[in-house]
Structure 1
Amino acid sequence: MAEEFNGSREALAESSQDTSDADESEDDFGYMLDAPLKATTKSPHPPPGHILELWQIFVQNVDPLTKVVHAPLLQPQVERAAADLEALLRSLEALLFAIYSAAIMSLKDDECKKFGEPRKTLLSRYTIATKAALSRAKFMGTTNIILLQALVLHTISLRDTVDSRTLWTMSGVVMRIAEAMGLHRDGTVLGLPPFESEIRRRIWWQLKMNDARTAELSGLPKFRGFSADEQSPHAPANVNDNELYPGMSSPAIESRKVTDMIFCVLRPEFASFLTRNVVRNPQRGKDDHLWDNYGSEDDLRRKDEMLNQLEETLETKYVRYCDPSQPLQLMSMLVVRSAMNVGRFIAHHPRSWAKQEQTPESERQYVWSVSVKLLEQYNMMQSIQCFSWHAAYFLQWNSFIHILDTLLADPFNNDAEKTWQLVETAYHNTPDMVKNTRKPIHVAIGNLCLKAWNAREAAFAEQGKPVIHVPEYIAQLRKQRESAKVRQQQHRNQSSRIDASTGFRGPCQLLGDGKNEEILTDSNQPAQLVETRSPQDMTLDNTFWPMGGVENGLFGIPESTMDMDSYFMLAQHNDFERASDQFFGWT
């Protein structure tokens, strides 16, 4: 393997990992990824032509935003693998399956027709195959950088299919594996060659940012405990891939212009900003950090100054060199502009003020305009087809909630027509927001969106204006909820028949509207009144709160598959914004 990678040390410990299938033992930790403990049967690879096509899709759609592998070095290995799959070592096989999964994940449903099967089928197949390949290679104890690359790509490819808390837990496992391999220390500290040091930095920073995002989506502050010291991995170099090669004697000279790494070098800039201006604030005598000091105009000015300084740095170092006609460079420009607006949204949000009634109208209008810009920028990112898979994962839910909240409170907002068009475009470009009801955040946002739309219709009717056209996504959301009501009523009827025949009502079952309900734990015991807070009280439609005692939750999906903490967090979106606004949700 070392010869195949032209002297690269990426194949470290390959011999200890690439044993035969017959040598598998009981210490197979594949179950961590839901793979069988005995994954001895190899999964079939795609036909050779499809392998090469999936590789090219990966190089075009996924690699520019991740840079986990060194594509020029890996391409010959992919070509040889397509010609002779029987000679594959385990680590490379796991990486190939992870690449197939990531490539399919980056495509739309209609783009997968060329492979003769639906996207869902292909993604499921290659995801399962990746798990099995990782299990065979005993990934939990690996010191193999190629297996680590496979793990990172695997977690990325699961974004659409795994709930955020599971993904965050898996990310933690990968982080521990990386730390055991020393990736949390810069390669120069460990005495590693320039090429290997740079590849390790790229992997570490991708891991770090993935872990931060999954933590945020799980309800935790994104950059909690984020810190750096002199031994921490340096930011990846702003160099083209062809400037890196095994055996290079000195680090590549960083470019002052756009390179293959333009997107991936932006995120360390954000992290560096946070380290300087958020994490270290307690050392300056603050109880917490600057972003918690609500209602102080002096602190607000400091926030604006810091954001302006960061924006100037990013514009000067990167954005001014970007060509918006190039997809990667356009995406990078949008990420910078969007990240700046996220910071301004957080700094100026009216809920950050000690008393909302004291919030100046100018501030309210400013936050509204920033929120609308964020939605515009999100829609622009989604229009870059090859990278839309990434944009969807970083939709700024808190600003989206603010928009819908404002439209609910003020249906005739001056920008209402334009904003509803932006909302419609977001739903059109992100069909999972309607279809994927396994993600509670989609259901919660859908409920709030329907409330805002219903308020709009009621306001039009009250003023005697013509009935407005109902967009397709609103019709779909309504249809889903009507179907769920029917299923819930059928369940209640069935439960009532069972109760009548047994004389027993299930323990602590939430009934009716969720207010003070009578709960019977035994037919021979007196009734107990249990006060519950209904989802209706939290601005959500009670129909779509998973009912206690119901085997299937939303739309017939088992409750065990749902991220209930995230759902509860979104349900209480007033508190959610206050909590999440403490930290930046950088894209």
Structure 2
Amino acid sequence: MCKLYESESGMYLAVNTLIITRLPQKKRKKRFAEAELLAKLRRYEDHLNAYGADIDAINSGGTVSLPGTSNSKRTTEGSSVDQHLQLPIRRGIKHANHTPWTGVNEEQLFDTEDMLQGSSEDETFAKPITRTFDAIKSDAGEMLFYTPTDERLIDLHPPMVQIFRLWQTFLDNINPIIKIFHAPTIQAQILEASADLDNISKEMEVLMFGIYATAISSLTDLECNNMFGEDKEVLRLRYSGGVRQALHRAGLLRTSNVTILQGLVLYLVSCLNFHIDPRSLFCLTGIAVRIGQRMGLCYDGSSHGLKPFETEMRRRLWWQIVILDIRVAEVSGAGCSSLTYMWTTKLPSNVNDSSLYPDMRIPPPEHKGVTEMVYVLLLCEATSHFNKMRSSQEPLHVKDKELDDFVAHLENTYLQYCDASIPLHALSIFMTRIRIAKLRMAPRHPHLVNTKQMNADDKDMLFSLSLDMIQNHNTLLKGNIMRFFWHIVINVPFPAYVCLLVSLRTRIQDEMADKAWEAFMEVFNLRAKFWDRREESRPKDSAIHAAVANLALKSWDAREKARPGIEVPAMIVKFKEEVRAKKAKFSKAESAQTETPPQNEGGFDDVAFTDSFWMDQSNDGMGQAADLGSGLMNGILTGQENGSVGMGMGWDFWNDLIPMNGKQSGNGQGFNGPNMYSS
């Protein structure tokens, strides 16, 4: 723009003037939010990992392996465990889709309690399970709500010589059937840690106390006094307290450390003898499950670039957590485990510890025949088959054929190589037979529940399977496998005993009934042989013991009426004395309205919540369950089943077996559904 200005000389000058105006701003391209982009990339990586893609190999420009290729090809040289821990599986694979298990049965506590009561009018035996649980002193509150103590954790460790004794006890009694780590590696770590307890790592301290606790749980009072110069109960309280203190110190609830989780699992195993209320223990096993899920143990490491050694240890730990959670779910009354989806973790490999080492790059070949893993693998195989069987909609004859094929697989893969003279092999053989019998019983459960009349073949089958379980368990009790005795007595086939006792109220005159009573008498005599009877530890106040004894007396009364003059066995004489005393005590307490549940100061031993809780035999100081624990806890399988519709033999099952109104069905036949038996 041009403007005129008058100069001092009177002349006008033209001056160009630039007028600056604000131009319209050019629209800037909207930036993609960086956080959103990273989030999307992470989700894509997670989904790719779920399909087996190796993100590290892609990022580094290496060769990308397809799913199913060898783990060693996906693992680059020089990669470390720490580098692998950056994979999404170590973050828990949060975005993976889970396939829910269907048909979970909400089993009820009161059903079994009514079954054990035998009659709604017999209040002496009302709510025996709840009353027995209530008598257990510990509810595990100290585990979650830790109270600081003046006692130093280091002072709870035993002397070095005793550490080695406990470790050797663990190797002999626990490790063959609870395989959750590589024993040679842990042994080296224990040797190093025990030499300098002042500088022991938090995670190693948790594991060592877990080893102490389980080792003590496998010993008798006499063995504890001979080996350590102290009572078993004193040692149990010390090392259990040490585990809890070490777990608190290690930050259990936010840990992602495998060693800490291993220590927790061992502690939970040591609690299977009911020193902790099963309802509380179920909450603690749920914590183990959640920690394992957060660590990605539920996904097989071979699909996510983990080294073979780490993959194998994760498999062992995860399957033990699965089995433990299912067992405790049953006995606690939850009916179903907190594991509500399918996992992809493969079975542990059939290899000895000597075939594994931390730095191995290639998985060892599977061994043909029996290895150190034989018992664990048979247990895992049974669990896996049950999971498949319970979701099957095939007819009964198809399920039976599938089970026959499964039994043939077990025989060809493991059992044909077992030598019954070897303790671990004998345990594997007879416990597997018990599990197979329970698997055969499982698909017949819907027929029992959904029809009021069972045909003779089904009745005979159920009776025969129950008898088979008891006879095989008696064989274990008679065997020379005392180092696993702690495990045998927490795995009594309780459902089989109840099935037989119920059926024997109407099945009186045939040969199978005679064999059943012979098996009961053998159980009674075996317990009298193996348990050192101590008057002060008799299970007089156990509600469950009294209820089952009462059930046995009802069955014997029916037999006695049909066969006058029959000799009364010692077991029945003892049961009559104790039931009479129980009723008298209840009547006295009821009249005073002051009855209170017996208090269990020492845990499972004092409440007689043991394998002898209903046979009234002593516990030899072992403090082990054999039990309702392995009965309700084991249901269909010894530690395998989940309570599912049509398959779980939980507390609803027992409600169906025994009527609550005390009236007998018209045909006088056993196993006819509701309202079958007289009170």
What TM-score results when the alignment is normalised by the length of structure 1? 0.71
For 2:163 and 2:259, the matched residues in 1 are separated by 18
Counterpart for residue 201 of structure 2: 89
| 1:115-126 → structure 2 map (5 Å cutoff) | 115-126=228-239
Q: Does 1:583 align with 2:648?
A: yes
Deviations 1:537-572 (A, max 9, x none): xxxxxxxxxxxxx5622x4569x9999xx99x98xx
Counterpart for residue 521 of structure 1: none
Q: Does 1:112 align with 2:247?
A: no
| 1:448-527 → structure 2 map (5 Å cutoff) | 448-457=551-560, 463-465=564-566, 467-471=567-571, 474=572, 477-495=575-593
Deviations 1:390-444 (A, max 9, x none): 2333333222111111223334442445433422444544969995689765454
Q: Of the candidates 320, 326, 333, which is equivalent to residue 206 of structure 1?
A: 320
| 1:177-576 → structure 2 map (5 Å cutoff) | 177-222=291-336, 227-228=341-342, 232-279=344-391, 281=392, 289-290=393-394, 299-348=395-444, 352=448, 354-357=450-453, 359-382=454-477, 383=479, 384-427=481-524, 428-429=526-527, 441-457=544-560, 463-465=564-566, 467-471=567-571, 474=572, 477-495=575-593, 550=594, 552-553=596-597, 555=598
Counterpart for residue 103 of structure 2: none
Describe the SS at the equivalent of 1:408.
Answer: coil
Change (3 A) 1:133 1:425: farther
For 1:97 and 1:403, the matched residues in 2 are separated by 41
Q: CA deviation at 1:479?
A: 4.9
Q: Of the candidates 155, 159, 163, which is equivalent to residue 268 of structure 2?
A: 155
Contact 2:285 2:324 in 1 (8 A): yes
Amino acid at match of 1:345: M
Counterpart for residue 136 of structure 1: 249
Change (3 A) 1:366 1:271: closer
Q: Of the candidates 172, 175, 178, which is equivalent to residue 286 of structure 2?
A: 172
For 1:225 and 1:141, the matched residues in 2 are separated by 20
Deviations 1:160-185 (A, max 9, x none): 11232222111001111121222122
Change (3 A) 1:303 1:131: same
Q: CA deviation at 1:255?
A: 0.9
Deviations 1:143-166 (A, max 9, x none): 221111100000000011123222
Amino acid at match of 2:469: L
For 2:173 and 2:647, the matched residues in 1 are separated by 32
Amino acid at match of 1:116: G
Describe the SS at the equivalent of 2:300.
Answer: coil
Contact 2:546 2:579 in 1 (8 A): no
Change (3 A) 1:108 1:246: same
Describe the SS at the equivalent of 2:570.
Answer: coil
Change (3 A) 1:584 1:450: closer
Pairwise CA RMSD = 3.7
Contact 1:30 1:132 in 2 (8 A): no
Q: Does 1:36 align with 2:147?
A: yes
Moved more, 50-59 or 261-270: 261-270
Describe the SS at the equivalent of 1:369.
Answer: helix
Contact 2:430 2:476 in 1 (8 A): yes
Q: Percentage identity across aligned positions? A: 31
Change (3 A) 1:83 1:90: same
| 1:41-80 → structure 2 map (5 Å cutoff) | 41-42=152-153, 43-80=155-192
Change (3 A) 1:248 1:65: same
For 1:203 and 1:439, the matched residues in 2 are separated by 35
For 2:264 and 2:415, the matched residues in 1 are separated by 32
Change (3 A) 1:30 1:144: farther
For 1:91 and 1:269, the matched residues in 2 are separated by 31
For 1:215 and 1:128, the matched residues in 2 are separated by 24
Q: CA deviation at 1:458?
A: 5.2
Amino acid at match of 1:552: T
User: Which structure is higher in helix share?
Assistant: 1
For 2:560 and 2:645, the matched residues in 1 are separated by 31
For 2:520 and 2:646, the matched residues in 1 are separated by 22
Deviations 1:497-545 (A, max 9, x none): xxxxxxxxxxxxxxxxxxxxxxxxxxxxxxxxxxxxxxxxxxxxxxxxx
Change (3 A) 1:556 1:214: closer
Contact 2:181 2:313 in 1 (8 A): yes
Contact 2:390 2:647 in 1 (8 A): no
Contact 2:322 2:339 in 1 (8 A): no
Q: CA deviation at 1:581?
A: 6.3
For 1:246 and 1:340, the matched residues in 2 are separated by 36
Q: CA deviation at 1:492?
A: 3.9
Q: CA deviation at 1:480?
A: 4.6
For 1:378 and 1:9, the matched residues in 2 are separated by 46
For 1:68 and 1:210, the matched residues in 2 are separated by 12
Moved more, 184-193 or 199-208: 184-193
- Report how many residues are paired: 475
For 1:219 and 1:393, the matched residues in 2 are separated by 17
Contact 1:94 1:134 in 2 (8 A): yes
For 2:341 and 2:292, the matched residues in 1 are separated by 17
For 1:106 and 1:237, the matched residues in 2 are separated by 26
Amino acid at match of 1:315: E
Compare CA radii of gyration and give the structure with the larger one: 2
Moved more, 314-323 or 409-418: 409-418
Counterpart for residue 99 of structure 1: 211
Change (3 A) 1:373 1:581: farther
Contact 1:352 1:578 in 2 (8 A): no
Deviations 1:20-73 (A, max 9, x none): xxxxxxxxx984446425676324222322221111111111111111121111
For 1:256 and 1:370, the matched residues in 2 are separated by 31
Q: CA deviation at 1:259?
A: 0.8
What TM-score results when the alignment is normalised by the length of structure 2? 0.62
Contact 2:386 2:439 in 1 (8 A): no
Contact 2:240 2:267 in 1 (8 A): yes
Q: Which runs of 5+ in 1 are unaligned?
A: 1-6, 14-28, 282-288, 291-298, 496-549
Contact 2:207 2:259 in 1 (8 A): yes
For 1:106 and 1:269, the matched residues in 2 are separated by 25
Change (3 A) 1:366 1:485: closer
Higher relative contact order (CA 8 A, sep 6+): 2
Amino acid at match of 1:101: A
For 2:540 and 2:340, the matched residues in 1 are separated by 32
Deviations 1:342-396 (A, max 9, x none): 1222334696274444x33233222212111100112233443222222333333
Amino acid at match of 2:232: R
